[in-house]
Amino acid sequence: MLGTINHIAITVVDLEKSDKFYEPILNFLGYKRTLESEELSGWESESTGMGIKFWRAKDELKEHEHIIYA
């Protein structure tokens, strides 16, 4: 589909907590879970095919502070 985004990938520290938080929102927006593993969860829009993936942060980088514009 021309003019759409294929997917968005977001790295999170706690994958399970992020899934619990975002699942109701994504379901409301028409996304269904299509991938689930220890490392990532994936959601896809049934109407547009756009995907959102949540990746578990690597253990050695979990404490790395996010600094905007760094």
Q: Output the six-digit token pair for 50.
A: 């756009």
Q: Give the residue ranges of DSSP H helices in the chain.
A: 15-28
Residue 19 pLDDT grade (very low, low, confident, very high; cuts 50, 70, 90): very high
Residue 1 confidence (pLDDT): 56
Give CA–CA dist 42/17, Å, rounded: 14
- What is the bridge-based pairing of β-strands 51-56 and 40-45? antiparallel
Average pLDDT of the residues of the chain: 89
